[in-house]
Structure 1
Amino acid sequence: MQMSEEIVQAETIRQWVQQALSGREFARTSRSVLAAGCFDTVIEHQQGITLLLKEKLCGPAFSLARPVFETFVRGLWLSYCATEEDLNRFRRDKVKPTLSEIITALEILPQFSEGVLSRVKATGFDYMSSYTHGGFQQIVRRIGDDVLEPQYNDDEQIEITRSTTSYVLLAGIEIANLANDLPLAQSILDKTIEYAKRSA
């Protein structure tokens, strides 16, 4: 699939998720509001990535990959693990557990026990951090033999588009769960499986 087609597909999926979630209500507890805010941020970041890639602004697009992953994981933690003290600390922007500690806490739970989050962190987090913080991965993609300009190949752009679009779907499932709308969560899960098969 061409990069332009990947972007169209990513935008179509995000719009579908946003429309599916539109008007859904959930209990306005501190936990649910903070978690939903994280998941909504994931969706918006993916929108930013697709817009930036359409404009060939790959550097800033790639710099958002880590916030997508980290914000999704934080939303899960707020939803499933955080204590009242953690929630109060989060509201003061004083998150105490590290990302590794958050993932460890999540993967104790049955729904996350397969270790997908820790594998993503182990295999991709250093690369994501390098893109976000102006590290080698970001800089080396601007250095050619005779030119200084962004040089991100299509495979790399497709990978970030697919991975962040997958997080949109997963974030949608979590928002549906917060709304206690199990049929909607299942519908988004079905779309997630369909997207994974198309992207394989």
Structure 2
Amino acid sequence: MTSKCDLPEDTSRRVILGLCLLQRTHLIAHSTLILLEKDVPTAVWSLARPLLEGFVRAIWILECAKEQAVDEVYEEERKFPKLSDAIKSISQSGSDHARWLDLANEKLPVLNDFVHGGIQTCIRQFDGTNIRPDYPVCHQLDFLDSFVKPILLNSGLELLDRLGFGESKNMLMSFVAVLDQDVDFPR
């Protein structure tokens, strides 16, 4: 079932691309929850970088990119800045997302290992000196709490806000506060 909602008045290339990236990120986050539920953690780890990358690109395009940079994304090369450069730009902009994206940036080397065809997972399985990558439940829960939940929540909140549902965003944040949920990366 799909629901129709009106686009915000500002339907610039920046806003449309940002909303598309947020929606895609939100869907990836939901997919990770399904995969964890089905006990397929290797696939979840391989989605970690695309999950972060989608969210960072959305925030960068919505909050930091200069008009020329937005135009360049739409041109033939379709280039975004390097992920670490985009995170740095978001940090310097004073974005609400800067603090936890800085913490996420520290995890990039680990995420890189798992995204490239799962090569690190394969190496671990066939290297006689290493353990099989079973990813204990505690690692899966840490990943869920420190990575998936913040991106799922923040991408949803950004979508609500950008589509003009600020009241819903405030209600959701109140609900999160009542549940005493940690919506940030742990230190």
TM-score by length of 2: 0.78
Query: Which structure: greater helix fraction?
Result: 1
2:101 maps to 117
Question: How many equivalent residue pairs?
Answer: 177
Pair 1:121–1:135, CA change in 2 (3 A): farther
2:48 maps to 65
TM-score by length of 1: 0.74
1:23 maps to 5
Shift, 1:183, TM fit: 1.7
Shift, 1:116, TM fit: 2.7
Letter in 2 for 1:196: D
Shift, 1:141, TM fit: 5.5
Residues 14-53 of structure 1 show CA distances to partners (whole Å, capped at 9, x for unaligned) of xxxxx9x973642322111111111111111112212222
Residues 77-117 of structure 1 show CA distances to partners (whole Å, capped at 9, x for unaligned) of 11011122212221245224222221122112233486331
Asked whether the equivalents of residues 142 and 151 of structure 1 are also in contact (C-alpha less than 8 Å), the reply is no
Structure 1: distance between partners of 2:4 and 2:108 = 32
Asked whether the equivalents of residues 166 and 192 of structure 1 are also in contact (C-alpha less than 8 Å), the reply is no
Pair 1:128–1:113, CA change in 2 (3 A): closer
1:10 maps to none
Asked whether the equivalents of residues 30 and 87 of structure 1 are also in contact (C-alpha less than 8 Å), the reply is yes
The alignment's C-alpha RMSD in Å is 3.0
Letter in 2 for 1:68: L
1:77 maps to 60
Structure 2: distance between partners of 1:113 and 1:59 = 27
2:158 maps to 174
Pair 1:112–1:104, CA change in 2 (3 A): farther
- For structure 1, the residue ranges without an aligned partner over 5 or more in a row are 1-18
Structure 1: distance between partners of 2:93 and 2:176 = 21
- For structure 2, the residue ranges without an aligned partner over 5 or more in a row are none
Asked whether the equivalents of residues 64 and 93 of structure 2 are also in contact (C-alpha less than 8 Å), the reply is no
Letter in 2 for 1:185: K
1:153 maps to 136
Structure 2: distance between partners of 1:143 and 1:156 = 21
Asked whether the equivalents of residues 21 and 54 of structure 2 are also in contact (C-alpha less than 8 Å), the reply is yes
- 72-81 or 177-186, which deviates more: 177-186
1:187 maps to 171
1:34 and 2:20 equivalent? no
Pair 1:144–1:158, CA change in 2 (3 A): farther
User: Taking every aligned residue pair, what percent have the same amino acid on both sides?
Assistant: 18
